[in-house]
Amino acid sequence: DQQVKQNSPSLSVQEGRISILNCDYTNSMFDYFLWYKKYPAEGPTFLISISSIKDKNEDGRFTVFLNKSAKHLSLHIVPSQPGDSAVYFCAASVITGAGSYQLTFGKGTKLSVIP
C-alpha cells in the first residue's frame, strides 16, 4: 500500500511559468514532509521541507503548501527555469518510538521546463 503518492509521473511547463507538483499521503502520523530533486546518476538533493504544524514554507523560488485535512501537499516553483528539469520526489517522515525516523517516498514526478 503506497502511503505517499505522486499521481503525475510527468509534467511539462514553459520557462518562466509556475510549476506545481502534487503529492498525497494516507498516514496521518507523518510529521514532516520533504521535497527532493534528483538528476540521473546522482542522489536526491534536499529542496525544502515543512512540519505538519505549518501550512506553508517558502525558500526563494520554492514554496511548499500542506493541507492536512486533505492529506495533500504541493510544491510550487516560480518562475520555472530549464535547470529545474529533474525528477521531484515527495517524502514524508515519521518518528518512531526509538527516536528514529524514516522517509517514505513517492514514486516521483519528472518535470521538464521548456525554454
One of 24, 35, 44, 63 touching another protein (CB under 8 A)? 44
In angstroms, the CA 110 to CA 103 distance is: 20
- Cell numbers at 13, concatenated: 511547463
Shortest Å, Cβ 89 to another protein: 7
| Residue 12 β-bridge partners | 112
Site pattern 51..90 for another protein (x: CB under 8 A) = x-------------------------------------x-
Positive or negative, the CA dihedral 98, 99, 100, 106 is positive
Shortest Å, Cβ 57 to another protein: 11
Q: Which of these segments, 21-29, 44-52, 63-71, 78-86, binds another protein (CB under 8 A)? A: 44-52
Shortest Å, Cβ 32 to another protein: 4
Q: Decide: helix, strand or coil at residue 45.
A: strand
Kindly tell me which of 80 and 92 has the beta carbon lying closer to another protein: 92
Residue 30: burial class (beta carbons within 10 Å; 0-12, 13-18, 19+): buried
Residues 6+ apart with CB under 8 A from 108: 6, 9, 38, 87, 88, 89
Which residues are near another protein by CB under 8 A? 32, 34, 36, 41-46, 49, 51, 89, 91, 93, 95-96, 98-108
